[in-house]
Amino acid sequence: MIKPIGSDELMPLFVYDIDEHDALNKEAENLPSIMISSAAAGNAVMMGGGYFTPLTGYMNVADAMSVAETMKTTSGQFFPVPVLNLVENADGIEVGARIALRDPNVEGNPVIAIQTVEAIETVTDEQMATMTSKVYRTDDTEHPGVAAFNSVGRTAISGPIRVLNFSYFNTEFPDTFRTAVEIRNEIQEHGWKKIVAFQTRNPMHLAHEELCHMAMDRLGCDGLVIHMLLGKLKPGDIPAPVRDAAIRKMVELYFPANSAMVTGYGFDMLYAGPREAVLHAYFRQNMGATHFIIGRDHAGVGDYYGAFDAQTIFDDEVPAGAMEIEIFRADHTAWSKKLNKVVMMNEAPNHEKEDFVLLSGTKVREMLGNGEAPPKEFSRPEVAKILIDYYQSL
């Protein structure tokens, strides 16, 4: 099985030992506590589940800056984006102390992790600007990722963590949320050797479904992991439970038995385009995938990134040998009226735009809201019904 990055074994930071878990929960009751951001909570969940192996906690400013500029920490460990615990202030917290980190996304703000404080630093405006421009390739505050990153404070608390729960993800999505540890175990149980992963934050229409079939066929994969983001999205995106139901229906009806797993992970979307594509590949290797599909404008938003920037970054910027996972590079897929099937548009010669069935997201939402299913060349009718029911409930 493919090895995790930077380690022979996964390094989940969740405390699985029951006695130790109970002891840490009791300790947390008497520790100084601080409310962390949704982004930091998502980072804790990802570290807890082993997705961010070999990180042991939140980065200090030097490591975060180094990662932003070179995709390596100061010690040379590859990582695509800064992983910070940024807060408004750290009054009453001292270096060397252990602190309880409280979850902003769960009622009652339970302790999600305990952190040993190695440093408390103020991030300068210049450092924030550098990290923003390197990771997001823009400083436009209309960009949802830029806005979120710059809204959580300038005090960085770094140091290792022990994770005590997975926030709301395993309670709200018990059938879908999986840690990297669990996905690796399921892959082994299936006996899969070549595994391709597909990232989604949206329901999967026919073109997405066929893209997965294409990747499996061309790569000779015996397994597909559909791995959906379960965390916070931008306004207007379809909620995770609706996406989950639509994707499960598609897999049930249109994939052979035991060929596809429907899973999800707990993290807030960054919308960081190319850098987020590298992060997506990073933690897919850690969960056991040997291949990862990256299509047109992967993890992008608006017009901030070129159509294939999320593919070329692997050639131009990712350090050589940093990852073993292989990228399956895809173009936009759509139904060809000439060929009567879904194709990659760059593989369809003698086609004009009007030879494809193309619908804008706005048009699809309008149709679904009116109770009208998109054409069968665009969406499976069973999937469309689930989405129609959702839009008509609004």
- Summarize pLDDT for 123-165 with one digit per residue, the tens: 999 999 999 999 999 999 999 999 999 999 999 999 999 999 9
C-alpha–C-alpha distance, residues 204 and 358, integer Å: 15
277 SS3 class: helix
> How many CB atoms sit inside 10 A of residue 92's CB?
9
Predicted confidence (pLDDT) per residue in 81-115, tens digit: 999 999 999 999 999 999 999 999 999 999 999 99
- Range(s) for CATH 3.10.400.10 in the chain? 18-167
- Range(s) for CATH 3.40.50.620 in the chain? 174-265+271-393
Contact 169, 179 (CB under 8 A): no
Architecture of the domain spanning 174-265+271-393: 3-Layer(aba) Sandwich (3.40)
Q: What pLDDT, on a 0 to 100 scale, did the predictor assign at position 74?
A: 98
pLDDT band at 235 (very low <50, low <70, confident <90, very high): confident
Instruction: Calculate Rg over the CA atoms of the chain.
Output: 21
Q: Over the chain, what is the mean pLDDT?
A: 96
For the annotated catalytic residues, the residue numbers are 201-202
Q: Which residues contact 186 (CB under 8 A, 6 or more apart)?
A: 178, 261
pLDDT band at 312 (very low <50, low <70, confident <90, very high): very high
Q: What pLDDT, on a 0 to 100 scale, did the predictor assign at position 240?
A: 84
If we measure between CA atoms, which residue out of 272, 140, 346 comes closest to residue 282?
272
Predicted confidence (pLDDT) per residue in 325-372, tens digit: 999 999 999 999 999 999 999 999 999 999 999 998 889 989 999 999
For domain 18-167, give the fold. Sulfate adenylyltransferase (3.10.400)
pLDDT band at 232 (very low <50, low <70, confident <90, very high): confident
Buried b / exposed e over 146-182, threshold 16 CB at 10 Å, is bebbbebbbbbbbbbbbbbbbbbbbeebeebbbbbbb
- Output DSSP code: residue 225: E
